[in-house]
Structure 1
Amino acid sequence: MTQQSESTTTTSSPAPNADPRAAASPLAPPFPPLAEPRPPGGRRVWPRTFHDRLTAPLSGLRAMARFAREGAIRPRPEGLADIPRLPFAPAPLPRVDARTVAVSWAGHASWVVRIGGLTVLTDPVWSRRIIGTPARVTPVGVAWSALPPVDAVVISHNHYDHLDAPTLRRLPRHTPVFVPAGLGGWFRRRRFTRVTELDWWEAAELGGVRFDFVPAHHWSKRTLTDTCRSLWGGWVLTAPDGQRVYFAGDTGYGHWFSRIGARYPGIDLALLPIGAYDPRWWLKDVHCDPEEAVRATLDLGARRMAPMHWGTFVLSAEPVLEPLIRVRAAWKQAALARENLWDLPVGGSRVLTC
């Protein structure tokens, strides 16, 4: 990871009091202690580009030519035939208190996370259609009208299936939003007033809940001229009592998972992507397949995993039900307890009490 400018790094020096659980972990790498949470909001100076954060080169002309010859971006007709069987079971959101963690899957990478008394939305996409792909094949699992007041939003990166302007327009402009470095201007132009941009391994705090931005194997682009102009990553949410939820956003498999698990031990639930992986030669660097998601769970040391990023939008060539079938098989192959795989239907919820 490349150092930011002095004006950026001097305000985010590591805390003198490390997380005691991290200090006690025998797996802890020689990292500095967790950074003190940055003050929310504020404008920062970022590099013009984050290309140096890429973990694999972006596709070049040779890869584009191969894709034009043999690539497929949609499943064959038999792979689409299972769309009516995609799990969809909307239900009322569970009641929770400040000591309870609950997650509800609205579809794709959109979760309603209740933690530490807060309601947090991840990559909220409530639109029926996003740019560049057919309409969603399962409805939104949580009606917007059924949401409690939203206390915060976290964004993993700026791709259209994770950053949806029509959905965000529904939110009050004073809603706190936590975003990757370089993406704050997008929100400020839309008159959001409480925008916090973070670099990898930085944190902020709201209502006693800690929001840590962590690395991912991905990239960013929203227009023809902004490739990698903003960062990408995942989020570790830690409640005041220590309960932890990791939201991976969009990512390929790699060594970051073990580093995240070592630095944030005791992850109670990992929300991990399992879809949009075929053709593998094209998507391996940026999207986990189901088996890699299970490996990531083990690398993280997470107690439970909830799959996401499948069964909502048809983004790639695998059959629509294949991610679920494969993740269940991989979980069983790894001899992991079945009750710790939270393979929710769209609209489903689970409550975690520790």
Structure 2
Amino acid sequence: MRLNPRPGAIADGPAIHWLGQAGFWIDTGAHRLLIDPYLSDSLARKYAGKRFDHRRMMPVPVTPEALPRPDIVLITHAHTDHMDPDTLGPLHRRFPDLPFVVPAARVEAARERIGENASLIAVNADDEPEPLPGLTLRVLPAAHEMFERDEKGQHVFLGYAFASGGARIAHSGDTIPYPGLAERFRDFGTDILLLPVNGRDAERRDAGIPGNLTLDEAITVTTAAAARYLVPHHFGMFAFNTLDPATIDAAAAASRDPIILRPEIGMAMDLQKD
């Protein structure tokens, strides 16, 4: 599987589209998956006037009302920039039968934000549900600075690896490195890794904002996983929690294995078979 970047709009065929932050629209040619879409200004309203005000650095690329119908939505955890009521609620109202895969540890939050009657598929780490014919899905644990579990021992933070239409892709969710992370991706035969690169520091941690992989760590994980492509994300949305895109571009210019592709709003990364 090869990725070929080009200008392009959503619904142009098999491709990966970045929606900002950790959000992706992925059309494999067999399924259309939507992951962690944040397509509103709900956090800017919530934190207006606060120290970390959450004003968007980029425009909303497509409104929930204009988004095409996906086949399934994957939600990695309940932070609002991943489980956004102002994005997911409108999607549910437009497509009442649309399935949402959500952490079992946060299923009540999902019902509150998406809809009481939403079609929720509650999962935990290491589950392998079969939500759609021809879609192989493996649920992974994620360590958003740490592993967190609910009172039932279910993981609060998740990632997803999936195979569809010849593509084998993994979205780690928000995570830092942990023993076995790269091995999980490698065991799945992942070709394309979608990893956060905004890093972490004490100031944000003390303010209750857990961090993620650094870019160097994401490259190390991708190399150890033997994945061909790294698509960095979780940058460019909030000024207090980002990474300079030039840093990603410099790493991409210096690397051929893995191939690093910095996503851009309005760019399609075509999924092409070798």
TM-score strictly above 0.5: yes
Runs of 4+ residues over 6 Å off in structure 1: none
Which residue of the other structure, out of 47, 50, 61, is the alignment partner of 1:141?
61
Residues 59-138 of structure 1: matches in 2 within 5 Å? Answer: 91-96=8-13, 100=14, 102-130=15-43, 131-132=46-47, 133-138=53-58
Name the structure 1 match of 2:237: 312
Which residue of the other structure, out of 172, 187, 193, is the alignment partner of 1:263?
187
Name the structure 2 match of 1:290: 215
Tell me the secondary structure at the aligned position of residue 204 of structure 1.
coil
Name the structure 1 match of 2:264: 345
Which residue of the other structure, out of 140, 144, 157, is the alignment partner of 1:232?
157
Which residue of the other structure, out of 312, 321, 336, is the alignment partner of 2:257?
336
Residues 148-297 of structure 1: matches in 2 within 5 Å? Answer: 148-172=68-92, 173-189=96-112, 190-205=115-130, 206-218=132-144, 231-239=156-164, 241-265=165-189, 267-279=190-202, 282=205, 286-297=211-222
**Post-superposition CA distance 1:218-254 (Å, at most 9, x none):** 2699xxx99x986211111111x54211111111122
TM-score, scaled relative to structure 1: 0.63
Asked whether the 8 Å contact 2:73–2:100 carries over to 1, the reply is yes
Query: Within 2, Cα distance between the matches of 1:299 and 1:203?
Result: 23
Flag the 1:182–1:281 CA change in 2: closer, same or farther, 3 A. Answer: closer
Offset of residue 280 of structure 1: 8.2
User: RMSD of the TM alignment (CA)?
Assistant: 3.0
Q: Which amino acid in 2 is paired with 1:214?
A: L
Flag the 1:258–1:92 CA change in 2: closer, same or farther, 3 A. Answer: closer
Query: Within 1, Cα distance between the matches of 2:260 and 2:63?
Result: 25
Query: Within 2, Cα distance between the matches of 1:187 and 1:321?
Result: 29
Tell me the secondary structure at the aligned position of residue 105 of structure 2.
coil
TM-score, scaled relative to structure 2: 0.79
- Pick the structure with greater CA Rg: 1
Which structure is higher in strand share? 2
**Post-superposition CA distance 1:144-191 (Å, at most 9, x none):** 454221221111111122111111111133210111122222333422
Query: Within 1, Cα distance between the matches of 2:39 and 2:86?
Result: 8
Offset of residue 198 of structure 1: 1.4
Asked whether the 8 Å contact 1:258–1:300 carries over to 2, the reply is yes
Asked whether the 8 Å contact 1:238–1:244 carries over to 2, the reply is yes
- Unmatched 5+ residue regions in structure 1? 1-88
Q: Which amino acid in 2 is paired with 1:264?
A: F
